[in-house]
Amino acid sequence: MRMARYARRGAVAMAICGLAVLAAGCAAWKAESSPAVPTASAGPLAGLTASQILTRAVADLKTASSVHITGTTKVPGQTTAVDLTVGARGCTGTIAIAGQGSVLLLGTGDTVWMKPDEQFYQAAGVSAAELSRLAGKYLRLSAGRSGIGALCYLGQLATQIGGRAGHVVLGQTTTVLGQPALQLNDVKLPGDAYVTASARPAFLRVGSGGGGYMDFTDYNAPFTVTPPSAAQTVDGASYNF
């Protein structure tokens, strides 16, 4: 039973790893301490350091009502595709792990629901008897206990992106998702971020350094989360998730 519990909670941890890489993993963007800090030379961000630009982008993300996050993250032995809309107090979307299945994710308030597919359950070591009871159901999890809470709510996600240890410097100016963009590079760990070259810089893309990245689109689009009914849910803890 203990091994099953570890395997299943490990499967949940792997499912959220894609966003964990985005929020707190391979890349970092916090203030550099050098007294001679380069600043943007042109445009609405002229005169601002990379750290100041990052601070503005994080503040903008915190005030957004929603954002659509899509992309792929890569860590050794795992590729995760994410298609998730995150709001102030909830999220909805899918997370798919190559070769190990996918989950539909819903979150609101202090509760998160995951609806795994059969492949995910099999990878987590769920027996055929249990699968017959779980198929088509949502697993109800505590947002805090599952570790998803910090990734499913926009303010917490923004805080994690902005609070990672490291040093950020200005990179190239380019076009990302059809918009003029400024690159922010981490000088100690692989990874970068692209923000709009505007007076209110907003995240366009965050790279994890392993060849994966997440795009941020559809800021402030209408967004609601409808929790599944009681008949559609089971307590994840009862099945060691």
Q: Are 44 and 52 in contact (CB under 8 A)?
A: no
Question: Could you give the CA distance from residue 54 to residue 203 in angstroms, rounded to a whole number?
Answer: 9
Residue among 177, 120, 80, 174 nearest 185 (CA): 174
Coil/strand/helix, residue 43:
helix
Cα–Cα distance measured from residue 151 to residue 166, given in angstroms and rounded to the nearest whole number: 20
Distance from C-alpha of 211 to C-alpha of 201, rounded to nearest angstrom: 24
Domains of the chain: 2-236 (2.50.20.20)
What pTM value is reported for the model?
Answer: 0.84
- Check residue 26 and give its pLDDT: 36
Do the beta carbons of residue 16 and residue 95 sit within 8 Å? yes
C-alpha separations of 225 from 83, 116, 218, 229 in Å: 15, 18, 16, 12
Please list the residues that pair with 84 across neighbouring strands: 69, 93
What pLDDT does 43 receive? 79
Contacting residues for 63 by C-beta, under 8 A, at least 6 apart? none
Per-residue pLDDT of the chain (241 residues; tens, 9 = 90+): 443 443 444 455 555 555 555 554 433 444 444 434 566 766 789 889 888 898 899 999 999 999 999 998 877 778 889 999 999 889 999 999 888 899 999 998 888 899 999 999 888 888 888 888 888 899 998 766 556 666 788 888 888 777 653 478 899 999 999 999 999 987 776 778 999 999 999 999 998 767 788 999 999 999 899 999 999 999 988 887 7
Task: Count Cβ atoms below 10 Å from residue 57 Cβ, excluding itself.
Answer: 26
The 8-class DSSP code of residue 237 comes to G
| Assigned token pair, 48 | 């601002």
- Distance between CA atoms of residues 20 and 206, nearest Å: 12
pLDDT of residue 37: 54
Q: How far apart are CA 54 and CA 45, in angstroms?
A: 11
* Coil vs helix vs strand at 90: strand
